[in-house]
Each structure stands twice: as structure tokens, then as C-alpha cells.
Amino acid sequence: MICLAPKPDRSAEPAHRFVYWIDPAAFERVKPQLRVLGYRLRAATLTPCQALRSRGKRLVYTPPGRWNGFCNRQGSWYRESMRAGLYMVVSDHRLPEGLGEFLAVELGASDFEPERMPGDDELAALIESDEYRGAKPGDWERVHRLDAVLMRWLFRVTRIWGRRETLRRHWLGHRANHANFLSGRFTARIDGEDVAHSVTGNAGVCSSCAEFFDLVSPGRRKMVRACPGSVTFAGMKRDVFYDVRPVRLSVSARSGGVSQGVGS
């Protein structure tokens, strides 16, 4: 009697995700190497966060141009970051040793809950912080009418927003969440470190990819709630803080002989 192993549940969320940032020349070099090892690669087709849907040897990657499409305004955080021009690959396990030099982030769901969430006055103060005003990309706050209409339609259909909710209602939270990761005003003490966290519920978050993929405040640990877009397109969970832990490299990834450690 032959016993077949059960197929993996691809709808289940992985315990961990590993984010790799790879320059174009290296990406073209590693693609055939991964295929030889049985990996299947496909590009994200609509949003950058679709790379979070990688499972097993089915890898989804985000090419640089994907940040200019459906999420163009939100993609400004990528275009003005240290990662601009790089390919992003996400996996639910560590990829073969030869790609270790490109590993940038490890993230996973946590049981974290902040002691309290800030009120509207505190959120308004966040977006006036020097850290936010100095770091926000030029395109980030340029909201077009179509942007607001699409958000309202999509997030109502998916029931992340209520029937009367609009971008206008959540605009303060959209900006304040990024501002808190930049300024670190609202934090929790975790493992001896002050860790910034999202300051609204999921409905008030936008472009959580900027924190998931270490574009905002790179190198700092974060507790991040998923935006409605990543819930819809990447299958991220609601009402969960994701523990985003950047990998710290002791030597430049381009110099060889890299040693790694996950920030604690």
C-alpha cells in the first residue's frame, strides 16, 4: 500500500516569512539557480505585497516596476528608499545558503497588543513631527480622486471598511502610522528594546508594505498591522500585529563573507 503525503495547505498563513532584496544583475543570476533546485518563480501581477503569497517552492517576486502600478502613490515609499531599483523575493522558509547575503527581513504573526492606542489629537501631532515631514515622499500625500474611489469600493466590498467609511475618515491614520514608525513616539518595551507599533486598527492603515519590507525606518524592529490592501491581495490577517525583524549584516552584502543576525 502506497501512502501519499498530504498536500500542503496553501491557504494557511506561514509561521514566518523571509524577505530578500536583490539587485537586478544578481536576480538574473540566481533565477536559474533556483529553478535547478525546483523552485518556480512568478512575478506579482497587481500589488507589491502579493509576494507575501509565496508558499513552499512557489516563489512570488516583486519587480521594481510593480511599485508604479496599482499602488503607485503608496509605492513612493519604495522609490525614495534605499531599496529603490531592487527586486524583492519573499519565501516562507530560508532560501538556499547562496542567497543569504540578500536576506533583509524576517516577519511573523505575534500575540502583541499595545497597552493603549493614541487618540486623534495624538495622531495629528504625529504627522507634524519633524521625522515624518522630513521623510515622507513627495507623491505619498498626493491623493487623486480615483485613488479614493477605488479604495472606498474595494474595501467596502471586502468588508474591511464599513458602508459609510471613506478615505477621508482614515486619512489621518494612514499618515500617522508611518509617522510613528519614523518618530518612535508610541512604542512598547520588547526584549529590552523600544519597538514602535501601528497606532490604528487595520482599517486605518495604508501601505503596510513600507514597514513589512523595511522601507520605513530600515533596520528597526517593528510591530505592524496589515493594511486593507495586504489583507485583500496578500492574505494577511486582521487584528494581528506582525513582528518585523530586520536582519542585521555585519559586513556589506556586496563585499562577501556576510554574517547575519536577526534584530531583537
Mean pLDDT across the chain:
87
Of residues 13 and 254, which shows the higher confidence score? 13
Give the pLDDT of residue 252. Answer: 35
For residue 234, count CB atoms less than 10 angstroms from its CB and return exposed for 0-12, middle for 13-18, buried for 19 or more. buried
Contacts of 118 (CB under 8 A, 6+ apart): 126, 176, 186, 199
Give the pLDDT of residue 103. Answer: 97
At residue 111, does pLDDT exceed 70? yes
User: pLDDT band at 114, cuts 50/70/90?
Assistant: very high
Q: Tell me the pTM.
A: 0.87
At residue 249, does pLDDT exceed 70? no
3-state secondary structure of 71: coil
Give the pLDDT of residue 241. Answer: 98
